[in-house]
Amino acid sequence: MTDVILTRRLDAPVDSVWQAFTDLDAFSDWFWPRRLEPRYDLEARVGGTWRVESSVASMAVGGDFSIVSPRELLVFSWRWHGESDESRVEIRLVRARERSTLLEVTHSGIPTDQAATDLRQGWNDCLDRLPAALEERDG
């Protein structure tokens, strides 16, 4: 099993970053590229589920929330549609300054090195879109 750990400093308050991961509209602003025409379901509560699917790309991913500690920690499972392997994602937020947040994404339990490489690239692509979405929402 392999882990992917990524950190970012975001020029946005913790509340805004938390909302970007837990609010359906905010999440859909940045997670997958619009060209994939993704559809989202998101219920960020313990026992709630999330799912993103794209008929354009013929892929979907989703899981269940196991920890929802507002503005601090979000933990959910990750399972690609049609696959049996399940991994775990932790989103950890730390207030750096009044309008700055340290974000750590830990994706653990990845079954192969190739899957870890693909997920690292995917997470980086997603996180590269996040600052613009935060700026647009915070105005």
Give kind and range of the element (H or E) at residue 15. Answer: helix 14-22
Question: Would you list the domain boundaries of the chain?
Answer: 2-138
The better pLDDT of the pair 139, 79 is held by 79
In single-letter form, the type of residue at position 98 comes to E
State the CATH architecture for 2-138. 2-Layer Sandwich (3.30)
Task: Estimate to the nearest angstrom the gap between the alpha carbon of 107 and the chain centroid.
Answer: 10
Give kind and range of the element (H or E) at residue 68. Answer: strand 59-69
pLDDT digits over 2-21, tens only? 999 999 999 999 999 999 99
pLDDT digits over 25-76, tens only? 999 999 999 999 999 999 999 999 999 999 999 999 999 999 999 999 999 9
Residue 72, both tokens:
């601090």
pLDDT value of position 139 = 65
Partners of 71 in the beta sheet? none
